[in-house]
Amino acid sequence: MRIVITILMLSMVLSLCSCGSKKEKPAAPTYDFSQSHIGAVDISGLKLAHGELLSINQNDGTVTIKAKITSNLTNEMTINQNYYNVSALIRNSGFNTCSEIKYWAVADMTSGDESKVIEFTVNKDTIDKIYSGAILDNQISKYVSDLWILPSLQN
């Protein structure tokens, strides 16, 4: 009987000790691009779902996002990760307040050079639809303008 009570007491103590030991993940910063601003935006603490965020610049409501990505299993997956990046920023970090998003990404090529792999523009109507969930991540390519994809990724 003493063994059972001891085991129960130990399990209760251990469960209580582990309750407070979980560290909460810090929240991603949220931006408000509805305010007039021109220049670089502080990106400390902001992470992309896929790749590295190089810079964000705002020219009034138009925001230019520059990223560096890595290739994925397929060309389509390499391209799609950029749409997922934009969607996550719109839904989670206040980029729904932009009037327009210009996104472009670079990647390291097999030759060792860094080259632009994709560029596109997302207008306010599309931003609002992504934010509301009316446009899914895998559908974003149908709604962007000025789309440019590195020719070798289009195969």
Quickly state the pLDDT bin for 109 (edges 50, 70, 90): confident
**Residue 9 within any structural domain of the chain:** no
What is the reported pLDDT for 32? Answer: 78
**Residue 136 within any structural domain of the chain:** yes
What does the pLDDT average to over 66-80? Answer: 92
pLDDT in tens, 36-49: 777 888 888 889 98
Judge whether 53 and 63 are in contact, CB under 8 Å: no
CATH number at residue 69: 3.30.300
Examine the pLDDT at 2 and tell me if it is beyond 50.
Answer: yes
Which stretch of 22-36, 53-67, 141-155 has the lowest confidence by average pLDDT?
A: 22-36
| Cα angle 50, 52, 57; round to 5 | 115
- Look up the pTM and report it: 0.78
Which residues form the domain of 63? 38-153
**Residue 21 within any structural domain of the chain:** no
Judge whether 121 and 145 are in contact, CB under 8 Å: yes
**Residue 143 within any structural domain of the chain:** yes
Average pLDDT, the chain: 85
Radius of gyration from C-alpha coordinates of the chain: 22
**Residue 139 within any structural domain of the chain:** yes
